[in-house]
């Protein structure tokens, strides 16, 4: 190809990691947190979890015991490790589940009189003494579910007054001692045992610093709709369909679901957080969504659209269901949710500002050859090659060039394995124009014969072309087909599948 032809050249691909990586890390879309188990194990897991996730500054979560007041107010096994963690992580914070009453015969009626206030004061004092001077206290969390000792349905008239007593005690301790313990009012998503607004009546920002909502991809968190959608999944390995999962997501927003908590946060001005959320395995204790990357995507979209302050993924295999995504510090845990795991990593890396993942190898041809790519040749295969001629690369040194002094027909292609879901395929290109065909093709993404094509523009200026496809087969192929007469040319660089 002569210099005049090179100056006219064009064709390439990208959006890529280079574009996604900024000179400095962008501000987090929301504060990330995770529960990987109780202290000290959960504390020790955090550095490895952050490495796996590719995010720094991830907060932690833990739970007070609930057998008696002595255990609640003197959990040194918990306070000490988290106090040390706080010292080493000055911008970190802990979400802490705190029983409103323990299972020792204590009652909501007594709590409503202030009979247990001294226990909350002692708890705060012991936390401070251990170096744990800040935490978000989820006092009486999931009170709208029947499994809790402090559930509101057993004594509705006394639940809110008991909560008010505890919240006032914590805030008074802060004022007297300079600590920063915040109070979170934290039901579970969905109807539960009763309408959740009964658990809110009488509360306000005087008592509540955060509104919390626990959300899982299972029946109790979505009301009757998701029960019907997921009815077959509690006693078999049946995996719900995408349509069932989409319908369940609609249920999660209604019937005292996500929309209720969004509205409550907006009307009160109290920040909304998600202290627990996760996928839920099939063949567990209840109807559930199983490996559901759409749930991960929907939650992420909802976090960003509603300015969620904090989200905390419940990354454990709990007694009533599996939510595990990460492989653990020793890398031995195999998640039963591979598609959800891939989606979670793609979205929550980098503080909720995901860096694009490119599934292609040698996507910018910087190896100086066509390694990892394949070539189909109709005629004159020498017309396609990796070139470092001036102007043939959009970025870096090399790009893919097609040109010959005689006619040619060829296709450069690469097939990759990708998670099911939406993927954008892009490339930077330029072209002389005039070809019989000069286009980017995407195929094999739905297990059938569907082909999505994008024609190269006729231009000497590098131009990005792109298309988005919904992958259902776990694979796709991106290719560049060129059928040209003599001296017609095209350039491609920075190809991306993300």
Cβ pair 345, 355 in contact under 8 A: no
Q: How far apart are CA 189 and CA 269, in angstroms?
A: 20
Q: Does the active-site annotation cover 276?
A: yes
DSSP track, 110-131: HHHTTTTHHHHHHHHHHHHHTT
CB-based contacts of 181: which residues, under 8 Å, 6+ apart? 124, 127, 134, 135, 136, 137, 170, 173, 174
Helix, strand, coil % over all residues of the chain, rounded to 5: 30, 25, 45
CB-based contacts of 331: which residues, under 8 Å, 6+ apart? none
202: left (phi over 0), alpha (psi -120 to 50) or beta: left
**Among the options 276, 311, 336, 409, which is catalytic?**
276
Strand ranges, E, within 432-488 = 437-443, 451-455, 459-471, 475-484
Cβ pair 403, 417 in contact under 8 A: no
Q: How far apart are CA 312 and CA 59, in angstroms?
A: 8
Cβ pair 310, 273 in contact under 8 A: yes
Three-class secondary structure of residue 329 per DSSP: coil
Calculate the alpha carbon distances from 120 to 97, 98, 189 in Å. 13, 9, 27
Nearest to 431 by CA among 463, 456, 404: 456
Q: Does the active-site annotation cover 366?
A: no
Nearest to 478 by CA among 307, 360, 319: 360
Which DSSP state fits 30? S
Q: How far apart are CA 76 and CA 81, in angstroms?
A: 8
Q: 409 phi and psi, to 5 degrees?
A: -145, 125
Query: Measured in whole angstroms, how far is the alpha carbon of residue 20 from the centre of its chain?
Result: 17
**Among the options 61, 73, 86, 142, which is catalytic?**
142
Catalytic residues: 142, 276
């Amino acid at each position: 190809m002569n210099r005049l032809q090179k100056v006219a050249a064009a064709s390439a691909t990208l959006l890529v990691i280079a574009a996604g990586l900024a000179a400095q890390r962008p501000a987090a879309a929301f504060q990330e947190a995770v529960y990987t188990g109780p202290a000290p194990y959960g504390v020790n897991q955090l550095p490895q979890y952050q490495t796996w996730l590719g995010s720094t500054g991830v907060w932690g979560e833990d739970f007070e015991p609930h057998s008696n007041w002595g255990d609640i107010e003197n959990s040194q096994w918990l306070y000490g490790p988290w106090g040390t963690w706080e010292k080493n992580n000055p911008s970190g914070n802990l979400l802490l589940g705190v029983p409103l009453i323990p299972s020792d015969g204590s009652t909501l009626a007594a709590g409503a009189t202030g009979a247990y206030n001294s226990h909350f004061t002692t708890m705060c004092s012991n936390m401070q003494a251990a170096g744990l001077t800040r935490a978000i206290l989820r006092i009486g969390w999931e009170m709208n579910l029947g499994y809790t000792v402090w559930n509101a349905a057993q004594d509705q008239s006394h639940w809110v007054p008991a909560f008010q007593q505890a919240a006032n005690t914590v805030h008074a301790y802060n004022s007297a001692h300079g600590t920063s313990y915040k109070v979170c009012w934290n039901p579970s998503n969905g109807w539960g045992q009763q309408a959740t607004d009964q658990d809110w009546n009488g509360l306000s920002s005087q008592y509540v610093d955060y509104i919390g909502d626990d959300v899982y991809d299972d029946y109790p968190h979505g009301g009757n709709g998701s029960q019907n959608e997921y009815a077959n999944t509690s006693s078999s390995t049946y995996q719900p369909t995408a349509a069932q999962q989409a319908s369940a997501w609609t249920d999660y927003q209604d019937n005292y679901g996500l929309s209720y908590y969004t509205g409550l946060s907006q009307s009160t001005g109290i920040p909304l957080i998600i202290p627990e959320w996760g996928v839920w395995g099939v063949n567990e204790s209840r109807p559930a969504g199983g490996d559901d990357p759409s749930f991960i995507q929907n939650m992420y979209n909802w976090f960003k659209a509603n300015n969620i302050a904090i989200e905390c993924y419940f990354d454990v295999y709990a007694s009533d269901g599996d939510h595990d995504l990460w492989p653990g510090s020793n890398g031995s845990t195999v998640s039963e949710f591979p598609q959800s795991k891939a989606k979670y990593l793609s979205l929550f890396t980098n503080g909720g500002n995901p860096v694009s993942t490119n599934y292609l190898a040698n996507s910018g041809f910087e190896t100086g050859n066509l390694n990892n790519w394949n070539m189909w040749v109709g005629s004159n295969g020498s017309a396609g090659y990796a070139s470092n001629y001036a102007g043939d690369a959009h970025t870096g040194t090399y790009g893919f060039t097609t040109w010959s002094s005689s006619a040619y027909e060829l296709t450069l292609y690469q097939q990759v394995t990708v998670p099911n879901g939406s993927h954008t395929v892009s490339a930077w290109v330029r072209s002389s124009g005039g070809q019989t065909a000069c286009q980017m093709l995407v195929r094999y993404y739905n297990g059938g014969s569907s082909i999505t094509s994008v024609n190269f523009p006729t231009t000497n200026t590098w131009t990005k072309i792109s298309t988005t496809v919904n992958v259902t087969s776990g694979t796709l192929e991106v290719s560049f087909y060129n059928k040209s007469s003599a001296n017609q040319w095209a350039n491609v660089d920075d190809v991306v599948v993300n």
